[in-house]
Each structure stands twice: as C-alpha cells, then as structure tokens.
Copies of this chain bind each other. A is one copy, B any other.
C-alpha cells in the first residue's frame, strides 16, 4: 500500500498526496505508522520546494493575496501547494481555507494543491502535521509551498520555524497602528507586504510601506539577510500589482541564502529544533497517556490540594516513580 502511494506521490499525483496528508493528520496508530514508513521512503528523493510562510491577521486580504500570488506562480509554470495552519480552528470551529471556494481560481488549477487546516488539532499536533505535509508536497515535486497562518498566538513562530522565507501581510494603516504588530513578529519577517494598495487606500499604503521600511531598519541586522533585507513592499491582490516584484524579491533572497549556505544551515537548525520539540512533547505525553502515571498524578494532586504535601515534594515522588 505505502509503496504504491510513495510511487504515485513521487510522480506528483495530487490525489495520492491528499491521501498521504490524511494519513499524516490521522491520530490512529496504524495510520501514523504508515505515515512514518511513507515519509522515510520519500525522504530519499531529497526534493526541496521553496517554503514560504505567510502570516497576517484576519482582514488584511491574506486569502485573496494567496489566490492571486498562487495564480501568478502557476501561470509562470510553477507547481504551488497551499497549506493552512490554524491551531484555533479546533476551538472556534471555523477553519481558515476551510472553504476551498475562497480560492476559487487556484483550486481549479492542475498545478496547484490546496489543503485546509484540519478541524481538530492541538498546537503540538499541528506542528508535526504541517511539517510532514510540507515534506509530502516537496516529495510530490511542488516548487513552492505556501503555508498560511492566522496572525495570532504562537502559530507564527511555529510556521517561521519550518519555512525558508517568512512573509508578513498587513493592511494600510496610520502611523499609530504600526505599534499593533508585535516586535517578535516583525523580527521574523523577511518581507512585509502592505496589501490593498489600490483605490482610496493607495496613498496610505505607500506611507505604511515607508513606516515599516523605517521600522525594519531599526532592527538588528541578521546574518541571513543580504543588503536591503528585510524589505517592505506595497501590493494589491485585487489589482494584481506588486505580485511580480514580491516574487522577484523572494527569489533574490532565496538565491542569496542558497549561495551563502544560509539556506542549508537554517534547514538543519530547523530540523534539529523540531527533533528536540518532538522529544519534549513525547515525554510530556506520557504523563497524559500512561494510566498508572495518570492515577498516581491524580492522587498526589489531591494530596497537594488538601495541603498534605508541598507541590515540590509531591512532584519529587512522581519523578522518582518515572525514573
């Protein structure tokens, strides 16, 4: 089964890819075992796509941008995969990209693959699923993988940790609102795109670009940036303006990073990071999954709540059991 699936993915078949992503998303142990075998097999292909993380709060026109940008790439002969990361969808019930029709044109292109965020997942599960879905898209010979994330919580940091480029999409805004973007997010951005640079907002967008360009210059220079990066640009997803320039800048940056070794170094660091993350998460999962440990924990928690032991002493008792 996995052999056949691996072969079809390697040929770039989208239905096989979709099925493999479903395996990766499944919480069933047999599915996860199959997914592991599949990923190990496909690893040997050693294919790399350009992984681009895209972040922005709702209302900045992120989906419209991805649709227009994805279409431009497809028309240039590239194969484009779009993955969505939304750890909040489990709670809110709503999922970004949940409605594929939001990317009506792109979803009909044979050179495109669009995958919404699964409807239930914790952040930990989201990290593994997204990483493995990216690996599957690369094995399926996609040239560009766009990873869309909502601009809230820790999902940006997570996505930035699995991408080659991280793009922040913002709406035109007055100078005061610049404060709204968290410094930590700014520092992760390789490119800031001010969307909706059209109609009445065009002038505001130009000013916003200047504001962010100024703010970016104040940040400490990072080794992985050539002269002039990170950069702020105005785009209009609706009118299609600025998309080509945005793609040029992304390619310039990607090429520079490839040539200088930063690309490989970053990928190696990211892989090591995720390895350590999985070890930590796996270790903590035991506390939730082992029935004996769970009941010992419940018992000690009760004693602590009753004031019969200090938290530190009670924790020591459990840790001794786990040794």
Q: List residues of A whose CB falls within 8 A of some B CB.
A: 36, 39-40, 43, 46, 128, 131-132, 135, 176, 268-269, 271-272, 274-280, 282-284, 287, 297, 300-302, 304-307, 310-316, 318-319, 322
Across the interface, A318 reaches (CB within 8 A) one of B43, B279, B304, namely B279
Contacts of A315 in B (CB 8 A): 275, 278-279, 282
Closest to A131 in B: B311
A36→B312 contact, CB < 8 A: yes
B279→A310 contact, CB < 8 A: no
Q: How far is the CA of A272 from the CA of B280 in the complex (A)?
A: 22
Q: How far is the CA of A131 from the CA of B314 in the complex (A)?
A: 14
Q: How far is the CA of A311 from the CA of B124 in the complex (A)?
A: 13
Assuming A283-B322, A306-B268, is B311 touching A278 (CB within 8 A)? yes
Contacts of A132 in B (CB 8 A): 310, 312
Nearest chain B CB to A220's CB is how many angstroms away? 16
A279→B297 contact, CB < 8 A: yes
Instruction: Give the 9 A-B residue pairs with the shortest CB-CB distance, closest first.
Output: A278-B315, A268-B305, A274-B311, A275-B311, A275-B304, A282-B319, A272-B301, A271-B304, A279-B315
Closest to A46 in B: B307
A301→B319 contact, CB < 8 A: no
Contacts of A275 in B (CB 8 A): 300-301, 304, 311, 314-315
Closest to A128 in B: B312
Across the interface, A40 reaches (CB within 8 A) one of B271, B274, B279, B310, namely B310
Contacts of A276 in B (CB 8 A): 297, 301
Q: How far is the CA of A277 from the CA of B274 in the complex (A)?
A: 22
Closest to A320 in B: B282
Across the interface, A43 reaches (CB within 8 A) one of B40, B176, B278, B307, namely B307
B282→A283 contact, CB < 8 A: no
Closest to A315 in B: B278
B305→A272 contact, CB < 8 A: yes
Nearest chain B CB to A129's CB is how many angstroms away? 10
Nearest chain B CB to A182's CB is how many angstroms away? 11
Among A39, A40, A278, chain B packs the most CB atoms within 10 A around the CB of: A278
Q: What are 11 A-B pairs with beta-carbon distances under 8 A?
A: A36-B312, A36-B313, A39-B310, A39-B313, A176-B176, A268-B306, A278-B316, A279-B319, A280-B284, A282-B318, A283-B283
Among A39, A276, A279, A313, chain B packs the most CB atoms within 10 A around the CB of: A279
Across the interface, A39 reaches (CB within 8 A) one of B176, B277, B312, namely B312
Nearest chain B CB to A142's CB is how many angstroms away? 18
Assuming A36-B313, A310-B135, is B287 touching A279 (CB within 8 A)? yes
Contacts of A277 in B (CB 8 A): 311
Across the interface, A269 reaches (CB within 8 A) one of B43, B128, B283, B305, namely B305
Nearest chain B CB to A47's CB is how many angstroms away? 12
Nearest chain B CB to A78's CB is how many angstroms away? 24
